[in-house]
Amino acid sequence: MNSVAGGGTMLTFPALLGAGLPPVLANTTSTVALYVGMPGSVWAFRRRLREVAAWIVPLGLASLLGGLAGAWLLLALPESVFNAVVPWLLLFATLLFVLNGPIRRFLRQHESAEPAKPKPWGVVFQGFVGLYGGYFGAGIGIMMMAGLGVLGLQEIHRMNALKSLLGLLCNTAAFVYFIARGEVDWRLAGFLVAGSVPGYFFGSHFAQRIPPIAVRTAVVLIGLGIAGKLFWEQAGGR
């Protein structure tokens, strides 16, 4: 999913809910399990990252601190808080996923001279993106692409490179914190890792054969369906 169209969390989180995990544990387990494929995507962009070297330290620190804050917030607040907001987060992530294509097209059409480094408010914004990523995470890549575009970083390959690195840093903080707190279902995480490793490896090959629109449609329907089910349960439905 991530290799073809993105949005892998939109499948793993509902799958873990369906396997019987409570929402917070499903979220932490999904984050840990999908982490294994992230360093490889960053490595693939290593040459492009040299072109945005001045952006890495300020935005990277914001991502690390934001990711850690989000992970702490997830476990520090009562689980009832996450249960209440997760349908809204799923709906928000699904809408971001729908807007991914238009956002990318807009950024390509409005390429301009890029600033040498991010503005201070951009670092603060990335900190909040990191916080969202540590707390829930679905749709974070699309949020970062939009934010980097507003900051003036318009060349799409540089944006993808920086997005991949910042996402890795944010998830590294959450990954370490969730493991240190023992908030991972390792049995189910093992199944996800067993699937995600070959999935990441073969994804680029199959990406040329699977129509992205079909994959994206499936993700959107799943996201809306799970969010609708959770809203129904909150309203007293069964």
| Enclosing H/E stretch for 45 | none
What is the structure's pLDDT at 173?
96
pTM flag (> 0.95): no
**What is the pLDDT at residue 61?**
97
Would you state the pLDDT for residue 212? 62
**DSSP line for 204-235:** HHHTTTS-HHHHHHHHHHHHHHHHHHHHHHHT
pLDDT tens digits for range 101-113:
676 677 566 555 6
**Intervals of the chain under pLDDT 50:** none
Residue-wise pLDDT tens digits, 127-159: 999 999 999 877 787 778 778 877 877 777 788
